[in-house]
Structure 1
Amino acid sequence: MAITLDKQIAIHLETIKTQEGEVERYVIETTGQLVRLGDGMYIRYKEEDKETGKKNPVTFKLQDDGEIQLTRETDDIRTKLIFLAQKKINGVYKTAYGRIPIEIETTHLKSQLNSQPISGLLDIDYRLTTGGELLGDYNIRLQFTA
């Protein structure tokens, strides 16, 4: 598979999580990579685990058909969330204790990529449920520039 783009980027990421009326906001400023492979554009970076200090890989895959995938991995957990505008997608949250089925409902999805200068944004609003129970509402706002 030929690489047609591979750039280092600066990333600003905000995540807002709402669970049972409680709101938590996370902000990350980091560097990563923007890579074009086949039918997808990949945004890759490492997130530091505040408890262990370990850097864990995170990947957003933006497919040409509009689908966005988010993959996060730690030693014990692997999460792959698939976002499609106004769709519900079944997924699995893999933990050290087993697999938990989840449903991802994407309520808002916007991606924008600019070539001059290389920059872009992702806006994703989604809801996670398992067994009919709401786990939380999430908002991701990611901006990047080369």
Structure 2
Amino acid sequence: MENNSFDINVELNIETLQSGELTHTKIAEPGKFTQIGNSVYLKFNESLDNDDTASILVKITDEGEIHLKRVAKSKNLASLLYFTHNKHNSGHLETEYGVLPLGTFTKDSKIEILNNPLSGKINIDYDLIYDNNVIGNYKFRLIFGA
């Protein structure tokens, strides 16, 4: 099994539309790109308030499915979401009060990875669903490079 790991810089822009309110989140951090077999992993941190961080792991399977895991230990929050182009998926949010089932509907997803030099883009447009209701529309734009 091949295991290649490289230092990268990550820029993540997230546009969120919830309850008619549009918000933007931008993260620019160093990270790691790792390939194990046919799967690709991007790992980086998100800076939070009070010098806290959340760890973010993006996995791309060889079938093109995207898994997004975000863990903010100090806030007792962890989420795991799955994205498959034009499909519904089940995920969850773990809080100190219990686990909330969350769903996603991936309206569009695009993955581009170039090897020389190592760089790429991951774009996901999705609806976040709780209890059969769309609670937000998201545009996830991740760009990385060595």
Give the aligned residue type for 1:21.
Answer: G
1:71 aligned to 2:99? Answer: no
Give the aligned residue type for 2:136.
Answer: G
Structure 1 match to 2:142: 142
Give the aligned residue type for 2:69.
Answer: T
More helix by share: 2
Structure 2 CA distance, aligned partners of 1:138 and 1:111?
Answer: 16
1:38 CA displacement: 2.4
1:27 CA displacement: 1.1
1:61 aligned to 2:59? Answer: yes
Structure 2 match to 1:24: 23
- TM-score, normalization by structure 2: 0.94
The one-character-per-residue Cα deviations of 1:22-71 (angstroms, maximum 9, x if unpaired) are 00001111110000112310000011112x32122100001111101000
Structure 1 CA distance, aligned partners of 2:122 and 2:111?
Answer: 5
Give the aligned residue type for 1:6.
Answer: S
Structure 2 match to 1:115: 115
Structure 1 CA distance, aligned partners of 2:129 and 2:80?
Answer: 14
Structure 2 CA distance, aligned partners of 1:41 and 1:96?
Answer: 30
Structure 2 CA distance, aligned partners of 1:120 and 1:30?
Answer: 15
- 3-state SS of paired residue (2:85): coil
1:2 CA displacement: 4.3
**Structure 1: which 5+ runs fail to align?**
none
Quote the sequence identity (%).
28
Give the aligned residue type for 1:64.
Answer: D
1:124 CA displacement: 0.4
CA RMSD of aligned residues (A): 1.1
**Structure 2: which 5+ runs fail to align?**
none
Structure 2 CA distance, aligned partners of 1:29 and 1:48?
Answer: 9
Structure 1 CA distance, aligned partners of 2:31 and 2:54?
Answer: 12
